[in-house]
Amino acid sequence: MKAFTKFLLLFTIISAISLVFGISLVEVGVNLSYYIYVFIIVLIVSLFFAGSILEPVEELRDAFQSALKGEMKKVTPKSADEFGELASAFNWMIEELAKEKKLLEESERRFRSILEELDGWYFELDGHHRIIFTAPNFKNKFGEVEGKYLREVFDNFPIEKLESGKFEYEIIKDGKIIPVEVVVKKDGEIYRCLVRDISERKRMERQLVFFREILEHSVDAIVILDVDSRITVWNRGAEMMFGYTADEVVGKPLNFLMPKEQWRQCTENFKRAVVEGYVKGIEAPRIGKDGEIIIVDQTLTSIRDSKGEIVGFVAIMRDITKRKRAELDLKNSLEELEKRTRELLEVQKELHQLASIVENSNDAIYSVDIRGRITSWNRTAEKIFGWSKGEAIGMDASMLLPEELRGETEFILRRIREGDFGLSFETRRLKKDGTVIYVEITVSPIFNEFGELSGVSIIARDISEKKKAEMEAEKRILKYNVERGRIYFTDNFDLAVDVIKDLVKCGYTGKVISRRYPENLGVCESNYMMLSSRKMKGTLDPDPEKIYREITSLPGWKNAVLLDLDYLLVKRNFEEIYELIQKLKDVFFVLNKGILIVCSESELIGEREIDLLKMECSAVKIRDVGIPDEIYDVLRFIYTKNRTGERPSIKDVMTNFGITRNTAKKRVQQLLDRGLIKIIKDGRSKVLEVTDDGRQIMRIA
Amino acid sequence: MRETVKLIEVARELPVSRKDVQMLLLLLFCGLFAYLANLADPALEPLFLALTFGIIAGNLQKDENKKMIAEKYIPLLLPVGITLYGVNINIPYLGEFLPEVVAATLISATLIFLAVFWISTRLKLSRQMSILLACGSGICGVSAIAIISPLIKPKKEEFSAAIMIITAVGLTGAIIYPALALLSNMSPDEFAVLSGATLHQTGIVKISSQLFGIEEEALAIKGIRIAMIALVVLILSILYSESRFYVPWYIVSFLGMALFSSTYLPGEIVQTLRPLATLMFATTLAAIGYTVSVGRVKRVGVKPLIAAYAGWMVGVAFMMLLIGGRVL
């Protein structure tokens, strides 16, 4: 029975008894209802009195009950009696409990916080391997499993390993395999287990192995450095490239692989790697263990941790020595090519210039192949010869030759083949309209890429006017009627010599080939060659071939040659000599070499041979001018000088002819008397000039 | 008790189930028994009895769901009960009384009101408790407490305790007043004034004055005090309104009903309505009692009891002085 009820009952009974006694004293009769009233009053009073009395106790009780439920409520001491003291004690207890509770809550919160933030699933097992506690994240993952046996939640859990403290296991959940690490701590009968998902770790381990394999098997040198740029990792590729093993290089700075002059650049590269994160395309030399220089293409990258701090560097180097060499070679080749190209362009330019020169030359320039076909034809050739380029190209070059010179092309080619590369002579050409012109040609050989003669190049200058003038002048000057490009025969050796001398006076180069002595002939030794089998200076073997070569090799085309046949006839037969004369005739006619006079006074040849010679050669005719030869010579001298703008004096006449003054005066006087010359005063001296009559004489001549 | 009563909203939200009907019937029976007990003995206040029956039923059944159902209907029953209870208020014509009687009555009621209020506050009781005891002691007992309670929103325990205390004090008066009258050689008129001016419940006034055959006179004097409820209610509603000069509708209707029943409503209709009103109000009190815990009620303590008795004693002493001084 509760205390309150007891109290109430006690009060009621006492009150009732008191009432009975009290009422009995009342004089007026007591109504039944008064008992009810008293009962109600006593009940109500008792109720509130009991409440007052028991209220502190009940309050304490309620406070205790609240405390048991975890609500730390204090009671208010309403009196100073034992209830008040009890209330104060209770309040103190509540305070202590509140502190303990706070600490416990703090501890639990911390524990919970740790559990929730734990990287893993925490659970506890009892001695029968039944799950008695799970952390919130365990519940989230595996559901409410408290109370279940461990093997019901995790199939094939290695319970026997719980004593080991730490092991790995694979959880199969929702068809997925999750590798986990289990850490167990036994606390009495309880196993406190922490399960961590190590899938990521396993994956990282696999990746690490994979990357290690890449590092080890890479052909490139991969070097990992610390923050001081000292080598910490040196892969197989680096070993193969530089020859150092890892043990030899770990701890050394990277620049030990570099030449000293590269160290500064190395430092700069490291700085750049720190600032920019990486530096690539570093092409630099490195020194291998054997001292060999290796050109590498290096990439330098800085390694940072999660906070962004530099923890090291990675240098990856690729051997590009061969590539560099190839590049260098290519560069050199390119330079060479450029040089050749420049040269080619220069040559092209020159060729273009030359072509322009050729095309615009004042001389006719054309080329003839070995078949005698014209292969090039410049503008001047068109002008001179009348054939257009289109007509001339491919045309037979002999179309340009007069009838009598049809063999010239073959002659030229033959001479070229013989090695006569400097062929130059005067000749004649046939224009398209049939007129013959005098040209001075220079022949040059053309060789193909194999060095074989493929043709000739001919430069032809029209000298018709000049030739005409020369011939006119020669006609006037020469004493004899001889023309250049002909050979003459005479049986008068003195005449022949005189002709030669006259020609020499008129500018020809004289050459006498004879057995007779020069002093007898009145020629100087420089113009003389003696026919003799003995080889001496100034002798010529009486061999037609040699004689032919000697005569044809005479330079220029104003040669006056006297060939004495008498000794030859002794040494050779007439056929050989005749053949020689024919060949010489061709040469002199074709090449217009000069004048050849053959002479024979010998009776070694008969009439028939002489007729043959006369038929082959022309006769020498003297020009009749009506004045003595020596006077004519003086007139010719003065005329020749006047033609060049000079007016000789008597002294010049003396010097030229080697005569005395008086003789010179006499001859000059005779010319004065005939009116062929006149004396002009030129200052203090007197000079001589041919008059019109004198010129007339020269023209007639 | 603490919620502002909005009848339409409550009625809209009230889904009536079988359990609700059972509960309402129980409460109705409690109210009915209380009314019948009052009929048997007028000193037994039906509101007090209904409250008590409700407390006993609630504490015996200890069913939270039923308590919730009772709680649900209180906001509906209380304003209706208050409104209907207006027919029990009979506004007297003051010209029928001697001026000194009216004055003494008014002064006594006011004195008791103030004494109880002051003593309660000195004993560090809550303001609501003090007002409940003062109204109950000074005006018209349990009914005054029930009418003003929704205005001042006291705790249920305080409300229940105030009703019990006022009933106890009233019943004490019912017991000792006859002996007091005999011992003091009071005249019946003087006794009528004493009982009318100082006793709390109408029933107790009736019982105590029955001995001397002065019921009507005593009840008439009591009526003066009862009429004061209108004024007090109006003042309190203004003082405790949520917004300025707001008077709850049921107060207005109560006052209107009181005025209407006192002046225009035929007596037969009033007589018919009064039991109905009493029954309705008793049912409400039973519902309140059902939701109250006895333990909490008793924890109110003995101080309200002391305040109520002491304040009442002041009123009694004043009236005895007046009577002894032959003022009345």
Q: B24-33, pLDDT tens digit by residue?
A: 889 999 999 9
Taken in order A7, A9, A15, A18, the sign of the CA dihedral is: negative
Distance CA A650, CA A656 (A): 10
CB within 8 Å: B167 and A44: yes
Predicted-complex ipTM score:
0.85
Residue A49 touches partner B, C-beta closer than 8 Å = yes
Q: What DSSP string runs through B166-192?
A: HHHHHHHHHHHHHHHHHHHT--HHHHH
Percent of residues, chain B, with pLDDT higher than 70: 93
Q: What are the tokens at A104?
A: 């416990």
Whether A542 shows a pLDDT value over 50: the answer reads yes
* pLDDT (tens digit per residue) in A289-344: 999 999 999 999 999 999 999 999 999 999 999 988 888 889 898 888 888 888 88
Taking the Cβ of residue A326 and every Cβ of chain B, the question of whether any pair is shorter than 8 Å is answered with no
Q: Give chain B positions within 8 Å (CB) of A37.
A: 43, 171, 174-175
Taking the CB of residue B137, how many other CB atoms lie within 10 A of it?
33
With a cut of 70, say whether residue A264 has pLDDT above it. yes
Residues linked to residue A296 through DSSP beta bridges, in sequence order = A284, A319
Confidence of residue B311 (pLDDT cuts 50, 70, 90): very high
C-alpha A367/C-alpha A375 separation (Å) is 5
Q: Does position B174 have pLDDT exceeding 90, yes or no?
A: no
Residue-level pLDDT at B6: 64
- Give the number of other CB atoms < 10 A from CB of residue B213: 10
Q: Does A208 touch chain B (CB under 8 A)?
A: no
Determine the residue of chain B that is closest to A37 in CA distance. B171
pLDDT for the residue numbered B260: 81
Instruction: Report yes or no: A446 and A367 within 8 Å, Cβ to Cβ.
Output: yes
Angle of helix B215-239 relative to helix B127-135, nearest 10 degrees? 150
Q: Collect all residues of chain B within an 8 Å Cβ-Cβ radius of residue A51.
A: 297-302
Give the pLDDT confidence score for residue A24 in this predicted structure.
46
For residues A166-177, average pLDDT: 88
Look over chain A and give the mean of its residue pLDDT values, rounded to a whole number: 85
The residue whose two tokens read 């906070």 is: A307
Res. A625 pLDDT band, cuts 50 70 90: low
Contact A58 B299 (CB under 8 A): yes
A328-to-A57, A283, A332, A342, B200 alpha-carbon distances in Å: 108, 14, 6, 20, 128
The string of pLDDT tens digits covering residues B37-79 is 988 888 888 888 999 999 899 988 888 888 888 888 888 888 8
User: Could you tell me the pLDDT band of residue A9, with boundaries at 50, 70 and 90?
Assistant: low
- How remote is the C-alpha of B206 from its chain's centroid? 15
Inform me whether the C-beta atom of residue A34 falls under 8 Å from chain B C-beta atoms: yes
A628 Cβ under 8 Å from any chain B Cβ? no
pLDDT of residue A212: 87
Please check the confidence at residue A80 and state whether its pLDDT lies above 80: no
pLDDT of residue A25: 45
* The pLDDT of residue B244: 61
Which of A567-571, B11-15, B32-36 reaches the highest mean pLDDT?
A: B32-36
CA distances from B225 to B91, B96, B132, B177 (A): 9, 15, 15, 19
Q: Which residues from A are below 8 Å from B179, CB to CB? A: 26, 28
Element spanning A193, H or E: strand A190-197
Is the CB of residue A52 less than 8 Å away from at least one CB of chain B?
A: yes
Determine what percent of chain A is predicted with pLDDT higher than 70. Answer: 94
For the cut 60, the answer to whether the pLDDT of residue A1 exceeds it is no
Q: Would you call B302 and A38 a contact, using CB atoms and an 8 Å cutoff? A: no
> Mean pLDDT, to the nearest integer, of A227-243?
92
Please give the Cα distance from A688 to A671 (Å, whole number). 10
Query: What is the rounded CA–CA span in Å between residue A594 and residue A562?
Result: 11
Q: Is there a contact between B298 and A34 if contact means CB atoms under 8 Å apart?
A: no
CA separation for the pair A528, A516 (Å, rounded): 10
Q: What is the pLDDT of residues B126-166, one digit of tens each?
A: 999 999 999 999 988 888 898 888 888 898 889 999 999 99
Q: Residue B18 corresponds to which amino acid? A: R
Rounded to whole angstroms, how far apart are CA atoms A424 and B205?
180
**Residue of B133, B302, B306 to mutate when probing chain A, most A C-beta within 10 A:** B302
Give residue limits of the domains in chain B. 2-324
Buried (b) or exposed (e) across B179-203, using 16+ Cβ within 10 A?
Answer: ebbeeeebeebbbbbbbbbbbbbbb
B165: which chain A residues are within 8 Å (Cβ-Cβ)? 44, 48
Q: Do B164 and A54 touch (CB under 8 A)?
A: no
Tell me how far apart the 2 most distant CA atoms of chain B are, in Å: 63
C-alpha dihedral sign at A513, A517, A518, A520: negative
- CA torsion B114-B120-B123-B126 (nearest 10°) is -130
Count other C-beta atoms under 10 Å from residue A331's C-beta. Answer: 11
Residue A38 CB contacts under 8 Å (≥ 6 apart), including other chains? A15, A16, A19, B171, B175
A701 pLDDT tier (thresholds 50, 70, 90): low
For position A501, what pLDDT does the model report? 84
Name residues 429-468 of chain A within 8 A of B (Cβ). none
Task: Look up residue B100 and give its amino acid.
Answer: E
Cβ count near A55 (within 10 Å): 19
Least reliable range by pLDDT among A203-212, A531-540, B175-184: B175-184
Put simply, whether A23 touches B (Cβ < 8 Å) is no
Give the pLDDT of residue A668: 92
Is residue B5 pLDDT above 60, yes or no? Answer: no
Q: How many CB atoms lie within 10 A of CB A620?
A: 19
Taking residues B166-170, what's their average pLDDT?
Answer: 90
Phi, psi (degrees; rounded to nearest 5) at A5: -60, -40
Choose among B168, B179, B297: nearest Cβ to A40: B168
For the ranges A111-120, A459-468, A650-659, the lowest mean pLDDT is seen at: A111-120
Q: What b/e sequence results for A590-602 when a residue is b if at least 16 CB atoms lie within 10 Å of its CB, and e otherwise?
A: bbbbbbbbbbbee
Give the model's pLDDT for residue A3: 58
Are A563 and A597 contacting, i.e. CB atoms less than 8 angstroms apart? yes
Mean local confidence (pLDDT), A27-46: 74
